[in-house]
Structures are given as structure tokens and as C-alpha cells.
Structure 1
Amino acid sequence: MTTNHEHHTPQQPEAPVTPPEPVLPGHTQGERLTDMFARSISYLRISLTDHCNLRCQYCTPQEGQIKLASEELLSYEEILRVVRIAVSLGIEKVRLTGGEPLVRRDVLVFIKALAEIPGLTDIRLTTNGVLLADYAEALQKAGISKLNISLDTLRPERFRQITGVDAFDRVWAGISKARELGFSPIKLNIVALKGVNDDEFIDFARLTLTEPLQIRFIEFMPIGASALWDKGKYISSQEIMERLKPLGPLEPVEAKRMDGPARIYRFAGAAGSVGFISPISHHFCDRCNRLRLTSEGRLRSCLLSDQETDLRKSLRSGATDEEIRGLIVAAILNKPKGHTISPEGGGSCHGQMSRIGG
């Protein structure tokens, strides 16, 4: 906070100071909306579809898993309406996720319309990278400013084993194209899995010594059907950091206001950085600033909570903008203080990750 010091002579009586009105939960402070725990909510993640062109082990491994029909997805018009209302409440940043957002038809037309919403200052995309080489230039022109690319291995054969698709070269071509076009930052998201890709942590981190990439290690989370969760594959951020010590000490990087939950570090003289997202070992709930809109139109105020608000039903039953606004505010007011999920199995989150949005 900046403090202004005004100097007064004894002959000039000091004007009475009117204390600022307290900001009530669910009310705006300037352009920001706060929840019951004084967290400013400014970030909306939107899953455009639960469909994907990969079948990653920890996301959608079940055979014959039913995907949403097109009419069950929110239409682009419905999503744009929700975003306009959310922006009027103080949302500044939107991230498009899936599933794989680039497999949805006419996604570029939608992104261009999204970029025209006044007050929306930051539009980002999370992708698995398979289609990125083809889409990168058009995405940049449409209004995407920053990219997150999911990549759990640097080894083509292991990529095929994890995802079920032989597409590593296509993903790497997409990353190279994004770099060529000047996207910054480019973040590579690695779900850390003991016994699966933990022998590559140093290889990933070493990329940052010469490449302007942000390598982000994400703790494996117990989301979805219980059969997907394997405690034996969980590895904490602290253990990952220990494994990176041969590359040298990690220096913390100061976080910016619009940054996400990752704790960011840099090796001395490195071109890039290393991030750690630790929802299990180091809860970041106290600074969570986000909402999530699932591909079937349900609003979640916490990734790791099953509590949802069905916006699709209201949107399609004639609800006014003010009524939708009220539902968003209510979801924010019901945002939990924190989650209770632990590697020992505490808490529960039974939502399907491909629908919630990665």
C-alpha cells in the first residue's frame, strides 16, 4: 500500500479523515469481488469441451467412457454471456482448457469474440500441444497471450505409453512454433508421477538453463474415480526439489498479482524458470483467486470440492443477467476456505477432470 505524506502548517487545520467503507463479502472493491475470506476473485477457468485427442492414464483411462454430446456443452454464446457477467464482477483473466480446447469446432471464432469483451485483459490457453503447430499463429492473432502446454515426458515412446497416442514430435513442433512466434511465457506442465516420469525431472529442469520456458511440476491429485488414484505414484514438490539439487541452488522469483499458484524459482543465470504446484503438500487455498466453469456449464469455486452451481440450467430456462450474476456471487460466497484432500486419502473430489478443466 502506498502512503501519501501531506505536510500541514499549524495554521492549516487538518481535514477530517473519513474511514473507507469496509468491503463486504460478495461486494466489489473497485473492480474486484471478494469472498468470505477476503480473497479477491479475478480469474475464471473455462473447460470448452471434455473431448480430447489423447487418453492420458491419470485423466480419462477408462474404456468406453461417455463424452458429453454437443447439446450438453455450453454453447459459445452461453459462455460469452457468462464471461461478460463475470467480468462485470471483476474477473480480469480467463483460461481456456478442456479436455483439449483446440478440438472444439470454430474455437478461433469464439476466442476472437471473447477478446472483444471490454475489461477482459488476459486470455490464456492450456493445450496438450498436438494441434498447436497448426493453430499457434491464428491463436495469437485471435487474442491468446500466454500458453500452458501439458507434457509429462520428453521421451517419444513413453509419451505414447502415457497418452495412448504417438504424437510427441507433433507436440514438440507446437512448442517450437510457439517460441518462434514469441509467446511468453510458455509454460510446460508436468504431472509428477513416481515410477512413471520421475527419472526425467532433471532433464525437464535442465531445459530452463538455455530455453526461456517455465517448467512446472504438478503434484498428482486424487481427482475422479478412486481407481485412478494411486498413492504410490504421488511425489511431493519438496522431494522433486531435492532431486533437482545437482543442477544448483534454486533462487525464488517474486510472484506477480495475476500469477497462479505455482511457486517459481530460477537457477542462477538460467534463461527460464522452474515452478512447483503443490495442492497436496502445500495448500495454496488462502490465495486462491479463481472460479471454474465446467464443459457442462457447472460453476465450481474449488477444484478439489464437489460443490457446483448449475449455470446451464439457469441459462436455458430464461434467467436474467442479474439472476446469473446472483448465482456467480453465491458461488463465490460459498467458496470453501480450503480443501481437505491429502495423499492419505482424506477428502473427496469425484468430478471428471476432463470436464472440470485441467
Structure 2
Amino acid sequence: MITDDYGRPVTSMRIQVNTTCNFKCFFCHMEGTGVHSEKMTPDEIERIVEIGHKMGVNKIKFTGGEPLLRNDIVDIVMRTRKHIDGDISMTTNGFMLPVYAEKLKAAGLDRVNISFHSLEREGFQFITGTDSMDKVIEGIKAAKKAHFDPIKLNFVVLKGVNEDQVQRLVNLSAILGVRVQFIEYETTKESINSEDFQRYHVDLNPIEREISKSAVEIKHNVLHNRPRYIVQTENGYADVEFVKPMMNSDFCSHCTRIRVTSTGLLKPCLMRSDNYTDILREIRKENSEEKLTNIYVKAVRSREPYWKESYEDSGKVLRTVQGYNGN
């Protein structure tokens, strides 16, 4: 296992397998990349996974775009499982899970995050640009039938759009037996004053405080150092997390990810596009194992917390930013 210059180990890899999607969510960050027609082959993805695993990665998440638009996605998961005995997961909009859930589970996928940003059809259409809520609900049911565990619903909280649905989703998650992640709408430092961010961003701290009052147990998610609330509802117990990256150096200080774009670039941080390392080019040149490992190490060493106030070299501790949303 290797660490970056801030003492953070890199144990997980987030692989963007494509940039195309059948939904058009207006807030989608596209994993910090643009749209590209080029994409890695299953062989190339497997090679990058193999390199990462040799350097300490034992957790993989596949993203897009929409990963299930790749007709070779089952093969990609199967190849990944040959090298990774830890957690393999995928973020999907759920539309095609009725087709793929059983096949993905058999190939070695452990769990799924399903994007589900509204409980109301009109809001769902506004967010995704599609009338596909019923298909996504079918996808959630297919994931349950395939015995993915856990299944997480990703819900980006948006001012004036869905913020009034939080408690309803908590109740629904208890009925369905799935977890829910309430996610903060995020943007770069340069776009904090943008019209969209100011219009839709919601401070999740008051919502989290209210939900926590019903918690009968608080667990801990090591990634990003956040609590998980086991909440008593009228329908049983719900498992709830809040993902709050904005201006949150504690979030960054517990990040253990290296990212891979659909075009084979190692991307040290979601929010930055100025420090890519092109490992795919070197793989296609059939460079030596040593050369590829050195390229990977270079990318890890270039990781730097995006949200930070200062770094205390003596204790290797990132100070939490004060004065924004209580973080």
C-alpha cells in the first residue's frame, strides 16, 4: 500500500467506464470529465485494476456515464474479480438493472448505488430529463432479487425540487430494506457563486441534525469519516448517511480514492482537471511493469486535498475549514 504526500493511503479505485448516459441529470459532475467517445477495452481496464491492486487497491467502484450502457460490462466485472477480493460496486441509474442485475451478481459485483433523486414523477422528469421512474423502481427490485448488499439510493438534495422529500425517502428505504445517501450538491471553488449552485444548493447539516434525533444507533463509515444513522421509522429501521463534500477538509482528509477516467487517465481528485496522468497511453505502448508502476505512484503522489485550510506537517493532520455550513 502506498500513501500520498498527506499520509492518506490509496486503497480504492473509481473507474469511469464510459461517459454516455440515457439520463440527463442537470447537476451531473460526469466524474469531473467531459463527454468522450473513446473508452478503454476490458483488457485495458483489467490491466489498470491489476496495477492498482499490486499497489494496495482492494476496492473498486464502476461509474459512468451509465455503466450498464456498455454491453461488455459483465465481462469487465468478471475480469476485475480475478484481482480484487474486496468490495466491487457500481453506481447506476438503475434503468437497465432488470436486465443486468443477476448477471452482474454472478460475475462478482457485490453491491450497487442507484441514483434516485425524486419520489415524485414530475420532479424525477425535471431532474433526469426522462419519464423513467417506474423503470428505476423495477431496477431497485431487481437489485434486491439479485441479493446485492447493501443497496444504496443516492439522493442529491436540491433546494425547491426535492428537499421536502427527505423524511419520505427515509421511510421508503426502511420498507425496501435499502440504505439511503443524502448527497450535497457540489461544485468547484470557482463556481460557488454560480447561478445554479446558489439556486439549488442545500445545507444538509440541519437536515442531518433532525434525522439524527431518531437514530437508535450511530455507525461509522471510514471513507470520508462520516456517520451512518440507524433510524427508527414507522416502517422499521432505516440506514441513512449524509455526504457533505463542500468546503469540508475532513471529507478530503479521509479520501482513499484514485480515479480513472473513461479515456484511461489517472485522476487524483474529482474536483481538479489539471493533474491527470495518462497510464493508458503507456499500457498501449506495452511498457514494462516497472514503468507502469512508476506512473501509478506518480499519480498517487500528486493527490492533494481539494478543500483544506492548512496542512500540519508535524502531525499530518488537515484542519477542518471553519465558518461554512457548520463544518
Normalising by structure 2, what TM-score? 0.84
The offset of 1:217, in angstroms, is 0.7
CA distance in structure 1 between the partners assigned to 2:187 and 2:258 by the alignment? 19
Higher alpha-carbon Rg: 1
- Counterpart check, 1:129 vs 2:101: no
Match of residue 228 from structure 2: 264
RMSD: 2.7
Of all paired residues, the percent bearing the same amino acid is 31
**Residue type of the alignment partner of 2:66:** E
CA contact (8 A) 2:219 2:230 kept: no
Q: Evaluate the alpha carbon distance shift between residue 177 and residue 262 of structure 1 in structure 2; reply closer, same or farther with a 3 A threshold.
A: farther
CA distance in structure 2 between the partners assigned to 1:132 and 1:305 by the alignment? 31
**Residue type of the alignment partner of 2:9:** S
- Counterpart check, 1:233 vs 2:197: no
* SS in structure 1 at match of 2:307: coil
* SS in structure 1 at match of 2:2: strand
**Residue type of the alignment partner of 2:141:** S
* SS in structure 2 at match of 1:36: coil
Deviation readout 1:286-311 (Å, 9 max, x if unpaired): 11111100111111112122221122
The offset of 1:272, in angstroms, is 2.7
CA contact (8 A) 1:221 1:229 kept: no
Q: Runs (4+) of structure 1 moved beyond 3 Å?
A: 208-211, 223-229, 242-245, 259-262
Match of residue 112 from structure 1: 78
CA distance in structure 1 between the partners assigned to 2:87 and 2:180 by the alignment? 21
CA contact (8 A) 2:181 2:240 kept: yes
CA contact (8 A) 1:265 1:273 kept: yes
Find the partner of 1:215 among 159, 180, 197.
Answer: 180
Q: Evaluate the alpha carbon distance shift between residue 124 and residue 228 of structure 1 in structure 2; reply closer, same or farther with a 3 A threshold.
A: farther
CA distance in structure 2 between the partners assigned to 1:327 and 1:339 by the alignment? 25
Match of residue 285 from structure 1: 252
**Residue type of the alignment partner of 1:182:** H
**Residue type of the alignment partner of 1:264:** R
Where structure 2 has 5 or more consecutive residues not aligned to the other structure, the ranges are 310-320
Match of residue 172 from structure 1: 137
Aligned 1:1-358 pairs, distance under 5 A: 32-59=1-28, 67-69=35-37, 72-117=38-83, 119-222=84-187, 229-242=196-209, 244=211, 248-251=213-216, 253-255=218-220, 259=223, 262-268=226-232, 270-283=236-249, 284-306=251-273, 307-339=275-307
Q: How many residues align?
A: 304
CA contact (8 A) 1:87 1:120 kept: no
Deviation readout 1:187-245 (Å, 9 max, x if unpaired): 00011111111111111122244442111011111159956842221112203225547
**Residue type of the alignment partner of 2:208:** M
CA contact (8 A) 2:232 2:238 kept: no
Q: Evaluate the alpha carbon distance shift between residue 172 and residue 223 of structure 1 in structure 2; reply closer, same or farther with a 3 A threshold.
A: farther
The offset of 1:265, in angstroms, is 0.9
CA distance in structure 1 between the partners assigned to 2:217 and 2:199 by the alignment? 29
CA distance in structure 1 between the partners assigned to 2:289 and 2:39 by the alignment? 20
Where structure 1 has 5 or more consecutive residues not aligned to the other structure, the ranges are 1-31, 346-358
* SS in structure 2 at match of 1:52: coil
CA contact (8 A) 1:222 1:228 kept: no
* SS in structure 1 at match of 2:51: helix
Normalising by structure 1, what TM-score? 0.78
CA distance in structure 2 between the partners assigned to 1:177 and 1:221 by the alignment? 30
CA contact (8 A) 1:304 1:339 kept: no
The offset of 1:340, in angstroms, is 5.5
* SS in structure 2 at match of 1:327: helix
